Amino acid sequence: MRALVQRVAEARVEVAGEVVGEIASGMLVLVCAMRGDGDEEARFLARKVAALRIFEDEAGKMNRSLGAVGGAALVVSQFTLAADTRRGNRPGFSAAAAPEEGERLYELFSRELAGHGVPVRNGRFGMEMRVHLVNQGPVTIWLDTAA
């Protein structure tokens, strides 16, 4: 699985003009299940995101996790993280999991993250979404269970 994690001061996701998920400070987590991923990858990625120390401590160093700062996570599915741009100018997405499996793993990831004590809000899988965020830092981290 892949995730693009952004430390945010605030974030929200809208579907058809309706806010479906919103957080104050914390993380925006864009998630993509890849072909061949399973429960193990979703659980590993959730543990990694929950423990990721990208928030500043008293000394100004990135040394605190989401739970340590009382933050929340806005989790949004984004199959385009599977983009293959090696040939031509049109990205290919064949490395992404099939939609049914992608949705199942996305939901498992969200449940597992919540199980680590992180308040989780979600976008809507497979929908056209507008994601609004204020990136804090900016801090953006790429995670990939295959790496």
Q: Does residue 6 have an active-site annotation? A: no
Query: Tokens 């309706």 map to which residue?
Result: 18
Residues with Cβ within 8 Å of 8's Cβ and at least 6 positions away in sequence, in order, are 23, 25, 26, 27, 28, 74, 133, 134, 135, 136
- Of the residues 79, 93, 109, 136, only one is catalytic, namely 79
Q: Does residue 109 have an active-site annotation? A: no
- Of the residues 44, 80, 136, 140, only one is catalytic, namely 80
Q: Does residue 78 have an active-site annotation? A: yes
- Of the residues 6, 55, 78, 109, only one is catalytic, namely 78
For residues 104, 107, 111, 114, the Cα torsion angle rounded to the nearest 10 degrees is 160
Q: What does the alpha-carbon distance between residue 82 and residue 92 come to, in Å, rounded to a whole number? A: 8
Q: Which residues are catalytic?
A: 78-80
